[in-house]
Structures are given as structure tokens and as C-alpha cells.
Amino acid sequence: MKSARELTDRLRAYQPPNTDLGQHFLIDDEMLDRMVTIAEVQEKDHILEIGPGPGTLTQHLLSTGATVTAIEIDDAPILHLDEIFREEQRSGQLLLHHGDALSLPWPETITKVVANIPYQISSPLIERLTRYQKEQTNSINQIVLMVQLEFAQRLTMNHPADVGSLGLTVALDWDVEEHHLVPPHHFSPQPAVHSQVIEMCPHERFFPVDKRLLRQMIHHAFDQRRKKIRSTLKKAPRRISRIKGWHAQRWKEALQSLHDLEIMDARPEELSMDDWIELAKKVEKGSM
């Protein structure tokens, strides 16, 4: 197995890293191995890797015997990966695709996602993962990602200051766990931020309300998070008509029935998930 540093240096022979594409390559083999260990990758798994770059993580994933689908948007890494992993491509263990992981179709047999992703696609990628999970019969059972530390904190919401629409809406479908911190010097080139490995696992929790309504209410309220819920929810969410049976007039009637509730004078970050669920139940009830 080649070292992460060696693979990264070989890619540099094609072109310098493009930081506009979020190319900060993890060059610490121990950290790479820890990601694979957290994901408990087995030979029977089909792994999706997004942004393989020099193939440092790809190599560790392939060493488990698992099948890997890797999607890379940049030309130079594709040429480099094609050369380094030619044998694995011939055997079918590695499926290498050139394009945007947010728009390319993904295989239906993905069991896990393990990736050191470009940080600028963190939010849209989680949205794509959530959609994929709903569309597939055989769903993803584990996701391990390297993300920006601040983003990880917003996902886990372990501190009151990190409570927001991102963490609350992700919690509707996923359990999120923080793992180890990764300082900038473990990357080449070094990013200006600290990073963290997170693990996401799907849950089958029952919600006594329409999750689509709950999601829209949370996003809508946090668009103006400094205002009281009474003010922000007065106007219907922009996409309310996408939920069957809902429209602006029904929303208006529902909110009128909640006028005297104490919770309407709270700000969105003051509400727990249980509070949001109870509020959504009252919105549904008030519109009947």
C-alpha cells in the first residue's frame, strides 16, 4: 500500500490542488484508517466515496475487499486515479465516475458512504443523502464523513449556540455522532479550519406529524431566527403548497388558532425537537 503522502505527491505531478474545489487532501494514514474502522467496512459493502482526489481514502477502502464507487469532479484526479487503480477497475472492485456527485445518479446498492468531502457541498450533500435514503429499497446503513468542525457542531447541536435548522432537520432522519478532531496540519494543502469526523446512521423514529410540515416550519422560523415564532410563522412557508392538502389560506387559519399559546413568543433556538413536534401537531389540528 502506498502512503497517503506519496499518492498526494503523485497527483501534484498532474496539477496543484484546486482549493476552489475544496481540495485539501488528508495525508495522515492513521486518520484515514480510523475513518474506515468507524465505518466498520466489510467485504460485502458497497461504499460511495465522494471527492476521492489522490485516492488516499480509496486505497484504504479497497484494502477491505469492499466494492467502491468513487465520484470525482476534477479532470486531473480522474487521470491519476485511473492510472493508480487500473487493476481494481478491471476487476470491478472500483467504479470510477467523472462528474458532480450532487447530480450524477448513484448506484442503488450503496450500503455505506465514507468520504473526505469538499466542505462547500456539505449541506447539499446531506440533502441528497436524505433523498436517496427515501428513494431506495435497500438503504444506506452508515455514513462517515470528514467535515468542517463548525459544520459538525451544527449537526450534533451539543451546545445551545449550535441549535439551528440544519441540526434539527437532519435529526428527523439521522442520528449523528461526533468522532475525532483533525487539525489542519493533517491535510495538504492545509485548510484554514479544523475538521472533524462525523458518523450518521438512519433511524426509523415515528413522528406523530407530517415530517414535511415539520421540516418546513423549522426552516421557515430559522430564516429569521432572532424574531419570535409568532412573527416568523405568521406568513406561510414558501413551499407549503408542495405538501398535499396545504395552501396559504389553510396555514393562515391554523396560525390564528395558536394566537394565545405561550410558545408563540419564543425564538426558534429556544425550542427542543419535542417542542417543534407539539407545535406542528397544533398547526395540523388548528387547520382542520
What is the structure's pLDDT at 257? Answer: 87
Q: How confident is the model at residue 95, as a pLDDT? A: 98
Q: pLDDT for 8-18, tens place per residue? A: 989 888 787 77
Which of the residue ranges 14-28, 43-57, 178-192, 226-240 would you say has the lowest mean pLDDT? Answer: 14-28
Identify the structural domains of the chain with CATH numbers, from first to last. Answer: 4-202 (3.40.50.150), 211-286 (1.10.8)
Q: To the nearest whole number, what is the mean pLDDT of the chain?
A: 93
Rounded Cα distance, 235 and 256, in Å: 11
Q: What is the pLDDT of residues 88-111, one digit of tens each?
A: 999 999 999 999 999 999 999 999
253-285: pLDDT as tens digits: 999 888 889 999 999 999 999 999 999 999 998
Q: What is the DSSP letter of 262?
A: G
Q: Given pLDDT bands bounded at 50, 70 and 90, which one contains residue 81?
A: very high
Average pLDDT estimate for 134-152: 92
* One-character DSSP codes across 12-62: HTT----GGGT--EE--HHHHHHHHHHTT--TT-EEEEE--TTTHHHHHHH
Q: What does R_g of the chain's alpha carbons equal in angstroms? A: 22
